[in-house]
Structure 1
Amino acid sequence: MRKHWGRNAIMTMIVSSLMLAGCSSDGGSKKEAAPEGSENVVHTTGFPIVEQAVELKMFTRIAPVNGPFKEMPVFQDYEKLSNVKVEFIEAPTDGFQEKKNLLFASNELPDALFRSGLSPLETVRYGSAGQLIPLEGLIDEYAPNLKKWMEEYPEIRSGITTPEGHIYAIPGIVTLGAARTDKKWINQKWLDKLNLEVPETTEELYQVLLAFRDGDPNGNGKQDEIPMTARIGLSVVSAMSGSFGLDTQLGYNINIENDKASIWMGSDKNKEMLMYLNKLYKEKLLDPEIFSHTEAQYLAKQGSGNAGFFFDQTNNNFLSIQDQYTGIAPPAGPDGDRMQSQALPIARDFGAFAITSVNKYPEVTMRWIDYFYSDEGSTLLRFGREGEHYEMKDGIPYYTEDFLKDITNQAKITPYAGGGAPHLISEQVASFINPPQVQEAQQKLDPFMPEVRYAAPMFDEQTAQQVNILRNDIDKYYEEQSTKFIVGALSFDKWEQFQSTLKKMKIDELEKLYQDAYDKMQK
């Protein structure tokens, strides 16, 4: 029976998709899709999308973990389902931005950009120049799944619409709250061995980390434990900022209180947080490699069981030792602040997909991408083929045990692995990233999540360029100086000088631009 899985999987997808659409492939409304009087038509519902095969070229980023897109079952099977053949122009993550810039500079454009990571500035610039086409009309007519989510969550539309009222790129959509946060994982096994309680405050966390450092919780007689670690750079600042009353609104280091947007980088609360992290670093409680290790090395530390406290969205990287860890709530800071500031908006991965002006089949292309904003399409994209890669249990797809024996297989069958793919992440398709342990960890964070998470605003091109220029200098300076404060290379006696330099870099002007954008959102 195994040899029939391909045909059965395709037929299952066709049937389920037609049921979702509520009509047969012949019964949907039709519209002329091809230019120059061609008789090929695009169906607004059902499959195939077109009767006569259409070919599209899409530029995409390929992550180091991925195999070739043309070998992924999602694209092989979807070609048969949709009658749309996609040729992917793959650019590795390293150098992707440069290749993307060259495409637009040379005007040698593909039909679409998939997993494109277009920034708001790029989107406005290339849209205004006519290289990207407006999508709002196509969404209304050819993207019922995407349109439904935009109606249910109005912040999606406001976050991707330019001041002129156009949508030039669409994001990934994450309705699953647990997929928008990094959980706070602590080594419960070590807590139990050392007879310690889960820390509820930053001071209690400090004491727990001391015990992790000195109490030999791994029992090997060596002081080789890593009390606390995080991804490279200032991710530890994002992870801990909520304990010091610092939020991340409008896609930046911004607090919003009483309708006032305040950039907090030069604030006393930020100084207090950096001093706390400096104490952890100085006392070897914070991983000394936090500013040098690679992503792979960080993930390996999670899986080693030798880390006491760290941050990640899921438990994927420590599945074999998951019983050793538990998720905890944000610790309350010295002023009683207790917030989960590290939370992404529902419209995640901005600029994940766009259609260019050379595309002869924009309606077909919009229908093609819209399928991935349904549970059925997202299941295909994330899980591959039923029976070979996953099985259904109570209506939810789960990877098979055989497939999970080598987790690197996942990146070979789906562009989801590696991040940034334009699709839906809902509870329906999140069994791998949202198992019970992760759900429990999210429940610890939920009471401390902000009521509203404002995404980065869409500025007009002139303002976007202004913001970009200001942020280039300010962000680089903040990252450099914050790193020095944390590792002790810069004394906190220099804090007023740090504040003064931020002002000279016109941080007040940047703050006003964000305030103006926020005010427009409220109208």
Structure 2
Amino acid sequence: MMSFIFIFTACNGKKSSGPEPPEINDKVLENFNETGMPIVNEPITLNFMAGKFVLASDQYNETLIWRTYEEMSNIHINWELVPYDGREEKRNLTLAGGTLPDVFYTMSMPNQDLLKYGQQEVFITMNDLIEEYMPNLTALLDQYPDIRKGITFPDGNIYSLPTIYDPEFTSVLLSTKGWIRQDWLEKLEMDMPETLDDFYQYLKAVKETDLNENGKNDEIPFGATDILGMRDILKGAFGVGNRGSMHAYLDEDPDTGELRFYPLADDYKALLEYLNKLYAEGLIQENIYSIEQNQSYSMGTEGLYGSTVIISPTTIYGEEMGKKFVALPALEGPAGNTYHKATSPLAHMGGFVVTSENKHIPATLRWMDYFYSKEGAKLFFMGLEGETFEEDENGDLQYVDKITNSPDGLTMEQELSKYITWIGGGYPGIVREETFKGSESLPQSLEAAEILRPNMLEEVWPSFTYTVEENNKLSSLQADIHKYVDEMQDKFITGTEPLAKWDEYVKKVEKMGLKEYMEIQKSAYERYKDN
């Protein structure tokens, strides 16, 4: 078994600092099975505080997966369910002096709290414990070392268990994608856009042509719920955001290889100039900054959009309209045609946190480790074969008819909530293509991912981790700098501030403490590389 010292000193020659892992009681180990099911011989009960999505069941232990897993594992969970929008308040009250649960589950624990309460020994240190009791997660961390690097805090310790997106599951790493109306391209006798100018020419043609043949000038060349989607799918053409989308405004300077705050780069200015041109010519939905989500979805369903950025048109706009959209490829611009919009396989860190209150740590970790296995992921996302899913003639898993066509007239999500609890996100575990049946797994989304895959980044950074002192300094700096950059981005795009004021904007950002902000980010980046 690979030891903790080897993993972390092989890279930087340093031992971790901070709290030691908890000692495990001999009596606890006597009731514990290292392999197989049940996890414990005599039943035990664990207290979980869990975030609950609005559509999820109010009685988790009545759902299929948790009834089944309790029978398998001999572990009963007392679920204290907290509405998603109340998680922050409940977390803070509990950590300030409430009764700790054994586990915070899908409670979206922030990284700064993981480190703060980890160092105070409110949360347990997991490094050695993962190696000893979690073979499935250990195998994934060995296979994908960047994930291990990402979950390791500046003191060398791991305080939570991650949500992992399978690095081979391209569609989920990309999430939302660019889409374009294939039927309108054909009407216009245009080829699929390959360059920024091609895309501009298509948008212009949509605006000038009555493609829906209703006698009105109501076609919207690009429409969506916000401008960020278009900005993100075009970043690669301008060479910014070149280490993925986990960092709002950090990437690698292509000239120096150094960490860069790219909203001050000339390449970013060029991106804003292009977006400003589209907006000024009416090629972007005029009310894109104020439109309600449902209104945007309705307009897409009505067939008014010539292009958009969403996860899946068939999911959002319906089968008939959605199938008219095809994936927009990575567009070539001044910096080439690499596609920069992708998240890290380390999707989240705060979904499973074990507290010092827990007296059954080996069993708790084995309980969670099952969901990092293929069989565990199948149970978590699909339920039980024959009851909630079947395997089709191609070997693919599919929900049964009572899920996809609810006898009670419920939506698929509402019907699923009787059986599973993954809808709403935030869960720890691993998301694999073969067992995840969200919008990213639909044929249309998978086809789009295959189109974009050849142009994807080779390196995507996860979120960095910071010391307590760095967090304290960074929080106020980041809040002010990012707010101003966001505001000016919108003003430059809409033209309410001319890009002639770019130099003034740059100087103001620099005066807001950018030097100190970047010093903190560089320290975090260097630690990430050295882990």
TM-score (norm: length of structure 2): 0.86
Q: What are the superposed Cα offsets for residues 63-122 of structure 1, whole Å, 9 maximum, x if unpaired? A: 233333344322222122111122222222223222222221224321111122222212
1:261 to 243, 251, 259: 259
Q: How much does 1:467 deviate? A: 2.3
Say whether 1:77 aligns with 2:76: no
Q: Determine helix, strand or coil for the equivalent of 2:434.
A: helix
For the 8 Å contact 1:112–1:353, the answer to whether it is kept is yes
For the 8 Å contact 1:277–1:486, the answer to whether it is kept is yes
Distance 1:297 1:95, change over 3 A: farther
* Partner AA of 2:186 in structure 1: D
- Unpaired stretches in structure 2, ≥5 consecutive residues: 1-22, 406-410
Q: Determine helix, strand or coil for the equivalent of 2:269.
A: helix
Q: Which moved more, 1:232-241 or 1:47-56?
A: 232-241
1:180 to 162, 165, 173: 173
For the 8 Å contact 2:154–2:527, the answer to whether it is kept is no
Residue in structure 2 matched with residue 403 of structure 1 by the alignment: 403
Instruction: Output the aligned Cα RMSD.
Output: 2.5
Q: Determine helix, strand or coil for the equivalent of 1:230.
A: coil
Residue in structure 2 matched with residue 341 of structure 1 by the alignment: 340
Residue in structure 1 matched with residue 187 of structure 2 by the alignment: 193
Residue in structure 1 matched with residue 31 of structure 2 by the alignment: 41
2:459 to 445, 449, 452: 452
Residue in structure 2 matched with residue 12 of structure 1 by the alignment: none
Q: How much does 1:261 deviate? A: 0.8
For the 8 Å contact 1:244–1:273, the answer to whether it is kept is yes
Residue in structure 2 matched with residue 489 of structure 1 by the alignment: 496
Say whether 1:427 aligns with 2:417: no
Structure 2: distance between partners of 1:70 and 1:293: 40
Q: Which moved more, 1:486-495 or 1:287-296?
A: 287-296
Structure 2: distance between partners of 1:236 and 1:103: 40
Residue in structure 1 matched with residue 522 of structure 2 by the alignment: 515
2:47 to 40, 57, 78: 57
For the 8 Å contact 2:180–2:325, the answer to whether it is kept is yes
Distance 1:137 1:314, change over 3 A: farther
* Partner AA of 2:449 in structure 1: Q
Distance 1:65 1:239, change over 3 A: farther
Structure 1: distance between partners of 2:420 and 2:114: 26
Residue in structure 2 matched with residue 106 of structure 1 by the alignment: 97
Q: Which moved more, 1:392-401 or 1:375-384?
A: 392-401
Q: How much does 1:493 deviate? A: 2.6
Residue in structure 2 matched with residue 206 of structure 1 by the alignment: 200
Distance 1:303 1:97, change over 3 A: farther
- Unpaired stretches in structure 1, ≥5 consecutive residues: 1-32
* Partner AA of 2:34 in structure 1: T
Q: Which moved more, 1:373-382 or 1:239-248?
A: 239-248
Say whether 1:415 aligns with 2:415: no
Distance 1:280 1:94, change over 3 A: farther
Q: What are the superposed Cα offsets for residues 490-520 of structure 1, whole Å, 9 maximum, x if unpaired? A: 2223222211111011223222322233333
For the 8 Å contact 2:206–2:306, the answer to whether it is kept is yes
1:122 to 103, 110, 113: 113
1:438 to 445, 453, 462: 445
Distance 1:339 1:467, change over 3 A: farther
Residue in structure 1 matched with residue 161 of structure 2 by the alignment: 170
Q: Which moved more, 1:124-133 or 1:485-494?
A: 485-494
For the 8 Å contact 1:133–1:356, the answer to whether it is kept is yes
Distance 1:378 1:480, change over 3 A: same
Structure 2: distance between partners of 1:319 and 1:151: 42
For the 8 Å contact 2:64–2:418, the answer to whether it is kept is no
Structure 2: distance between partners of 1:305 and 1:71: 42
Matches within 5 A, 1:222-261: 222-232=216-226, 234-249=228-243, 251-256=247-252, 257=254, 258-261=256-259
Q: How much does 1:246 deviate? A: 0.5
Structure 2: distance between partners of 1:412 and 1:292: 36
Q: Determine helix, strand or coil for the equivalent of 1:95.
A: helix
Distance 1:109 1:224, change over 3 A: farther
Distance 1:235 1:163, change over 3 A: same
Q: How much does 1:450 deviate? A: 1.4
Q: Percent of aligned positions with the same letter in both sequences?
A: 30
Q: What are the superposed Cα offsets for residues 20-42 of structure 1, whole Å, 9 maximum, x if unpaired? A: xxxxxxxxxxxxx9858468612
Q: Which moved more, 1:74-83 or 1:425-434?
A: 425-434
* Partner AA of 2:473 in structure 1: Q
